[in-house]
Structure 1
């Protein structure tokens, strides 16, 4: 099978798969391949935090022209996967000099499937782009075509808890990937000082409590498949729920916009995480660290996209607030505004290239020591 993800999260996703029990895990670009049975496919969809889709490959063949493509698609017995009274849709991606339009590939694949049914009995399944019974993925890379069934349906970032969003909300898979990449494991206090609609707070709480990422999701595509096993799915879901653990630290969010705070609280309530997450209508720049011990901070400040903010001053205030008010804090944030990043006035200990949609970003880490950095190292030596 294949798990799709964002650029930069391949290693994180591979680790998730290994911990979940997948075998033959291999990283690619924006994807990780692995082996597992039907039950594991269900488990991967429910539990993986950094996967966007889980694809089940069913055929691979060489293509040199549209005739090869048509014959290759027709070589698959589609009656195994879909009935004449069901619906389907084809998603095509093309990286080849032989084909230059994904819609053309999708149309030829559709013709091959429909013609197979017509030749075998006259009736044929219909196309439904919005709510298909079967979603088929056709991927052409140079002269090789792979055909897969999309077991997820809508992207797995649609967790099911977020009904309210603000301007420039962060994708749930991106949020979870950032948290895992930052080393967040639920063993310290956590804070998002610019929490928006609360996505990072919710994903942080789910990681801390080991709650399956998509437990709130209403539907997966495999529930419409011919081999859907509701009893097996229920057993997998129950086994994952038994691994939920308690969390004994604080998770806190700030936002200066009252509307954002209201939306965040609604989303936290939808995720059934109100007992773990506290949110205040406060500007981060008016705060300081409230608790003893280490603090893990991850946030998504404005980049200037769609927001009218004086960026240089804003990023300078981020640096000043961290320096003056947050000793003993490991602070991470993502930004696409690489020019404004220079005004933070702190040297990041890590800079990781990620993408937020089409925006190239940097995920940066700042270590705010108790006292001076020199004093910390001196203590560790002694």
Structure 2
């Protein structure tokens, strides 16, 4: 077990963290292997659905003229996200506009095509999906459900940190979302509070699948947010879905502390801390949280939770998640600890304010050949 670098851990806790299984930290009557096998059957059906959609491209093709732009919800490296209203139905959506020139220049064409196909096939309560798509001379367009509760990042920044019960509620949903993605042979690779939206009921939706990839073996691509990168990504060892479980550990820590475990002004210093697995544990963390983190922020993937023989059961049966009713959570029957204030279907008060931007135009179709498959 990698040393966490914490001055707050007692020697007895360190000993417990080094054991593969310390029964003290696991519930006696938890999520049984039988339940998990039944759930795996459900996941396999969702995987079949994903493959079917992947092969058929069933998202609806539309056009920019059908949507009225109302307000900017966010900006990124490749474009802008607008709140839009569909003219014929009056329904509100989030429309992601990606600039073809930037995608081409940064060699992200394959990622953009992947994102469209992946979003088209997603079908799970805690992830967004693609409703419509189209392109024009300058932009690619993804039209997604509008999630008016805003980003988790905004709520976390406002509150400073979450109570552990709140962090458990969100982490459990992220865990189920990652389990679903992995069952579909997808590695997410971009988990962070900015990519987790909160719906009007207080439940989460993972968004931004630009780094998501179908993966049945290993890949070597360096991508993601520095503070959330797993050691194996930084060391170019080749990696699989284990990187998402590491990122879950970073998220659990950041939600509970208000800051990530590996932080520095220089990205290279962040990477150095990550590969050594060194982080400090705030004194207010419960022993259960410390224990689950010590097995999730584990540099040795052969010892990392989510990647062991019991898979997600190491999380589902851990005492830190003892209050979670996994079946009720899946169908939104657990009261949410934070319910965002949403006044109307088009309320954008939970999003940061952005000045309107002048959109680019072109008389000719830019990079027509490169994006012919979109």
Identify which of structures 1 and 2 has the higher relative contact order when contacts are C-alpha pairs closer than 8 Å and 6+ apart: 2
Larger % of strand: which?
A: 1
| TM-score normalised to structure 2 length | 0.23
**Larger Rg, first or second structure (1 or 2):** 1
